[in-house]
């Protein structure tokens, strides 16, 4: 089994890290550059910045925030929010991103995934899928979880992989910020359908939740925000727990 990755997420609004529940009621959680410095020192494997209002406000992710964070890191940095075009992606890479994460733009312009993969490599293209339970399936939402689409999560993940995406960042809107555990059923459904890595997001609260999403959910990586931001769980302790319970993780 390949080593699993732990990823910290910085949801950023107006240059400040925020966190809410089910994408709503956002509250401030710190300075992105300071948090990035701490995560780099504590041994997180990767970092994601999501500019949570960029798409709704019709602008690019803030380059100054990306630059400030990238200067603190010696680990991969992915940037999402406001990546609507080739030029937006180029601006994010120029500011220090190693990967770009696309959600709404990928849904409205799927060929954009192929163009970016051809230019930067599939490893640099992440498709973010925000999904909510609906009946027996999972519906995809765009625009920061505000706009329903006619896509199913599994169906869209398969298409995105086929168009050149190198990873899927899969967020359960139902579990986001609840600390009730990842949606392992959703994660397993998508992981079983694609051959590219799937990053599980939404619901992390305990060490056991990470173990479950790596085993039951078949995730390749797990992303969390608030449980890391507020120093409720030490990353080294989480990695030690996962190793002790049979889940390989990076040193």
Active site amino acids: 11, 130
Distance between CA atoms of 86 and 154, rounded to whole angstroms?
26
How far apart CA 219 and CA 213 sit, in angstroms, is 6
CB–CB of 188/218 below 8 Å? yes
- Report which of 173, 174, 248, 168 is spatially closest to residue 210, judged by C-alpha positions: 248
From CA 148, how far away is CA 76, in angstroms rounded? 31
Structure-token pair, residue 238:
């989480």
- Residue from 247, 208, 236 nearest 45 by CA: 236
Say which residue the tokens 């075009």 belong to.
Answer: 85
Structure tokens at 17: 């890290």
């Amino acid at each position: 089994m390949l080593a699993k990755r732990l990823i910290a997420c910085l949801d950023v609004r107006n240059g400040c890290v925020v966190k809410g529940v089910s994408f709503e009621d956002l509250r401030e959680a710190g300075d992105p550059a300071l948090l990035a410095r701490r995560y780099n020192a504590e041994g997180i494997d990767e970092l994601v910045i999501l500019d949570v209002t960029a798409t709704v406000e019709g602008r690019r992710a803030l380059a100054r925030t990306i630059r400030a964070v990238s200067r603190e890191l010696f680990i991969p940095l992915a940037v999402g929010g406001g990546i609507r075009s080739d030029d937006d992606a180029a601006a994010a890479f120029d500011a220090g991103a190693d990967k770009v994460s696309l959600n709404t733009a990928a849904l409205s312009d799927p060929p954009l995934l192929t163009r970016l993969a051809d230019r930067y490599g599939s490893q640099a293209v992440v498709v973010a899928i925000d999904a909510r339970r609906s009946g027996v399936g999972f519906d995809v939402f765009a625009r920061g979880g505000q706009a329903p689409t006619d896509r199913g999560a599994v169906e869209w993940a398969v298409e995105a992989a086929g168009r050149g995406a190198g990873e899927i960042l899969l967020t359960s809107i139902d579990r986001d910020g609840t600390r009730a555990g990842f949606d392992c059923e959703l994660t397993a459904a998508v992981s079983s359908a694609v051959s590219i890595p799937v990053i599980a997001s939404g619901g992390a609260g305990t060490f056991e939740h990470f173990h479950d999403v790596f085993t039951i959910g078949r995730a390749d990586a797990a992303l969390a925000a608030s449980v890391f931001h507020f120093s409720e769980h030490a990353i080294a302790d989480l990695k030690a727990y996962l190793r002790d319970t049979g889940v390989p993780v990076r040193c």
